[in-house]
Amino acid sequence: MPELPEVETTCRGISPHLVNQTITQVIFRHKQLRWPIPIKALKDHLIDATITEVSRRAKYILIQVPTGTVVIHLGMSGTLRIVSATTPLRAHDHFDCILSSNKILRLNDPRRFGALLWLPNHHTLAQLENLGPEPLSTEFTATYLYQSAQKHRSPIKTFIMNQKVVVGVGNIYASESLFMAKIHPEYPANALSLTQYQDLHKAIQKVLGKAIKKGGTTLKDFCQSDGKPGYFSQELKVYDRQEEPCLSCQSPIHAIRLGQRSTYFCPRCQPLPSKFKRKKELLL
DNA sequence: ACTGGATCCTGATCGC
DNA sequence: TGCGATCAGGATCCAG
């Protein structure tokens, strides 16, 4: 369940269990997630190392030890939990990090779209380079979005999900933010006005900020057993609501595929000027 | 340089 | 009950 708010929540949840703990053992049960796991480097650098900090960049979780950083991405299906030695193993428990407190940081990821990487101090990691600004930071502004968009004619939804533009806007929040800003997801990025980007910028921050709060409360016990997902559904205005009435105008919510991702919007609240509508014959 | 599509993998769900 | 098709909260890679 790795939307940015859950990654943030995971970070906050595991951090107190990790910081100042010494790692006594690491166990690998799979050698590859999205990329091969650098098992040897992780063993060499983690065993007997003390964790100094846990932080987040984009949807990557960063666990700092004296000689470098463990970089974890949860992909589509990953979870990180704090468990005990008696917690039974489940399918897809790929990695354990055993601490001096006897607690265990356990990574589970059925689809293995996630990542477990090692970043030595003073090195760089391609995945962490060229990332756009954090959506809740002050570098992320409406003007920045507007200017970045000028050379992109791709649909606005695809544009805001591009991590080089801004990090952390996933498939759910892209649809939700565009609904709040009353912008059609297929609107070409470079056709939107600065005013529209001001609305969109505000919407992204509002939706993500609220979701982090929700994630924080709903997942507060996520590290004990299984924090139930589905808590978003109460807040979602369009996502996964195909054919249901728009909460603002009662029109049926539409669903389309955009960039191979499910996309939801209200055709009445988020109109698309006819000049931007795609013609079927052009798609063939 | 940008864009869209294919791709990695397992599991849940739905129609037949 | 079983089977195949489809879809899932991500993001990289590659051809055009």
* A173-204 per-position pLDDT tens digit: 999 999 999 999 999 999 999 999 999 999 99
Class of residue A178 by CB neighbours under 10 A (exposed 0-12, middle 13-18, buried 19+): buried
- Protein CA at A158 to nucleotide C1' at B2, angstroms: 12
Closest CA to A53 of A7, A8, A11, A98: A11
**Dist. CA A236–CA A221, nearest whole Å:** 22
Q: How many degrees, rounded to 5, is the angle at CA A178 between CA A175 and CA A183?
A: 135
Task: Say whether pTM exceeds 0.75.
Answer: yes
The whole-number pLDDT of residue A21 equals 98
Domain at A142-283, CATH from 3.30.470.10, 1.20.1050.10, 1.10.8.50, 3.40.50.2300: 1.10.8.50
Which DSSP symbol is given to A245? B
Domain with CATH 3.20.190.10 in chain A: 4-128
Both tokens of A89, joined, read: 């193993």
**Dist. CA A7–CA A224, nearest whole Å:** 16
**What is the CATH code of the structural domain delimited by A4-128?**
3.20.190.10
Domain with CATH 1.10.8.50 in chain A: 142-283
Both tokens of A195, joined, read: 């005013």
pLDDT tops 60 at residue A77: yes
Strand C, nucleotides covered by protein (CB < 7 Å)? 7-13
- Which member of A182, A261, A267, A268 is catalytic? A261
**What is the mean predicted confidence (pLDDT) over A243-270?**
96
CA dihedral sign of residues A30, A31, A32, A37: positive
* A5 — pLDDT class (breaks 50, 70, 90): confident
Distances (CA, A) of A37 to A27, A40, A93: 12, 9, 14
Residue A255 forms beta bridges with which residues? A264
**What is the mean predicted confidence (pLDDT) over A246-268?**
96
Q: What is the pLDDT of residues A131-185, one digit of tens each?
A: 999 999 999 999 999 999 999 999 999 999 999 999 999 999 999 999 999 999 9
Q: Is the C-beta of residue A260 closer than 7 Å to nucleic acid chain C?
A: yes
